[in-house]
């Protein structure tokens, strides 16, 4: 398998266009903000465009000039607040119009795909998440 790195400024406008056309898009995200559920540079995600966003969805959104793949923790009208599963604090906000797509599958390197959950249990563990993530990163 050949891997090619493309800058976000080139990749995500194309991803946005494909999602608007009703196509599925699969790519390998970078970073550790979605640990332990999505491993950056290891797992791939499959996105589709949905009419609405719900709490617990993992979305790709444009926040200012950046593109972020995080979980929705709150929806208040058109305002959406997100936080990475691998983060212990700090949130990002955007509008529903800034959401490019929603993750419908997480694909492991073995090719095995799974549907992401809503992260309710993980959200409840936020007070001890720092310790759980420290253990996970040492394994």
The percent helix, strand, coil of the chain (3-state, each to 5) is: 25, 30, 45
Task: Please list the alpha-helical segments (H only) found in the chain.
Answer: 8-20, 120-124, 129-138
pLDDT tens digit sequence for 63-79: 999 999 999 999 999 99
Task: Please confirm whether the linkage preceding 93 is cis (ω < 30° from 0).
Answer: no
- Assigned token pair, 61: 């959104």
The residues pairing with 105 across neighbouring beta strands, listed in sequence order, are: 46
Has this prediction a pTM greater than 0.95?
Answer: no
Q: What is the DSSP string of 18-45?
A: HHHTT--EEE---SSTTTTTS-TTT-EE
Any idea of the CA torsion for 26, 49, 55, 91, to the nearest 10 degrees?
A: 70
Domain boundaries, the chain: 8-138
Classify domain 8-138 at the CATH topology level.
Umud Fragment, subunit A (2.10.109)
pLDDT tens digit sequence for 2-42: 777 788 888 999 999 999 999 999 999 999 999 999 999 99
| Mean pLDDT, range 84-90, rounded to an integer | 91
């Amino acid at each position: 398998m050949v891997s090619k790195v493309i800058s976000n400024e080139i990749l995500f406008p194309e991803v946005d266009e494909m999602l608007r056309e009703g196509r599925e898009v699969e790519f390998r995200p970078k970073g550790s903000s979605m640990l332990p559920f999505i491993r950056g540079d290891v797992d791939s995600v499959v996105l589709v465009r949905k009419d609405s966003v719900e709490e617990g969805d993992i979305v790709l959104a444009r926040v200012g000039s950046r593109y972020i793949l995080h979980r929705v923790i709150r929806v208040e009208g058109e305002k959406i607040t997100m936080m990475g599963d691998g983060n212990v604090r700090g949130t990002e906000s955007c509008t529903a119009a800034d959401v490019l797509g929603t993750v419908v599958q997480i694909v492991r390197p073995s090719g095995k795909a799974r549907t992401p959950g809503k992260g309710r249990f993980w959200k409840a563990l936020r007070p001890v998440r720092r310790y759980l993530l420290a253990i996970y990163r040492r394994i």
